[in-house]
Amino acid sequence: MAVQTRAQLDTKSNTVKSETAPSANTAARVGGLLEDFADSVTLNSERGLMTLIVDAPVTFATDSGNDIQLEVTMNEAETLGDVFQSSDYRIKYIGTVSAKIRVAALLSFAGINNREYIFYIAKNDNVIAQSACANTTQGTHTHPAFSEAFLKADPNDEFSIYVYANVSDNITIRNLTFSAFTI
């Protein structure tokens, strides 16, 4: 079926609703209208998913009082569609139109006892404050962190993870899942 405008779909829908002749609105005819509607909605929206992972411990140096990009090599774990591409620690939206997306990071890390660490999602190297996940460590064992942002992506926007620490030190990322998908 072909992509159609809202006016074309409304005209077809009104015709189907108003016909009263026996067998006028067959399953095939109504089904064709639904297919036209589905194609028109789906093809006008970008669809995709990309997930990057760190599945072995990696050490990362923080910088006291500064937000810095988490630059650790991540591997592609899952990709659906062709609207995202990755480079080591970034996910880039390469769709042709703007899209609503969700970007999320779920990780476990170990750092120095009684230190504050804040993880953020960033768009084009601008930290999204609402995505902040603050964690003051209690011990040197592994701690969880989760950060997410719902936002609009324009073609060529890049997403990454930033870390703030109140001390310059090393943290160990035990595992990490970083994903972006259209909604």
* Secondary structure in 3-state letters for 107-118: EEEECCCCCEEE
Q: What is the pLDDT of residue 56?
A: 92
- Looking at the structure, tell me whether residues 167 and 95 fall in a common domain: yes
Per-residue pLDDT band at 11 (split at 50, 70, 90): confident
Q: Does residue 64 sit in the same domain as residue 147?
A: yes
Average pLDDT score, the chain: 87
| HEC letters along 40-60 | HHHCCCCCCEEEEEECCCEEE
CA atoms within 13 A on the CB side of 97: 8
Task: Report how far residue 180's alpha carbon sits from residue 12's, in angstroms, rounded to the nearest whole number.
Answer: 37
Contact 53, 175 (CB under 8 A): yes
Query: Residue 159 pLDDT > 80, yes or no?
Result: yes
The pLDDT of residue 120 is 97
Clarify whether residues 60 and 129 are in a common domain. Answer: yes
Q: Is 62 within a domain?
A: yes
Judgement on whether residues 67 and 32 belong to the same structural domain of the protein: no
Q: Is 166 contained in some domain? A: yes
Average pLDDT over residues 117-138: 96
* Number of domains within the chain: 2
- Residue 1 within any structural domain of the chain: no
The reply to whether 130 falls in a domain is: yes
- Please enumerate in sequence order all residues whose Cβ is within 8 A of that of 23, keeping only pairs 6 or more positions apart, or say none: none
Token code pair at residue 38: 């589905």
Question: Can you tell me the mean pLDDT for 134-149?
Answer: 94
133 belongs to a structural domain: yes
To the nearest whole percent, how much of the chain has pLDDT over 90? 66
Q: Mean pLDDT over residues 140-148, rounded?
A: 94
Mean pLDDT of 52-58: 93
Q: Are residues 114 and 130 in the same domain?
A: yes
Q: Are residues 19 and 96 in the same domain?
A: no
Confidence at residue 104, expressed as pLDDT on a 0 to 100 scale: 98
Burial class from Cβ neighbours inside 10 Å (0-12, 13-18, 19+) for residue 59 reads exposed
Answer for the pair 118, 163: CB distance below 8 angstroms, yes or no. Answer: yes
Spatial separation of the C-alpha atoms in residues 37 and 145, rounded to whole Å: 41
The range of the structural domain enclosing residue 159 comes to 49-182
Residues 164 and 98 in one domain: yes
- pLDDT single digits (tens) 100-110: 999 999 999 99
In the structure, what pLDDT confidence band is assigned to residue 47 with cuts at 50, 70 and 90? confident
Domain match, 82 and 146 both: yes
27 in any annotated domain: yes
| pTM (predicted TM-score) | 0.76
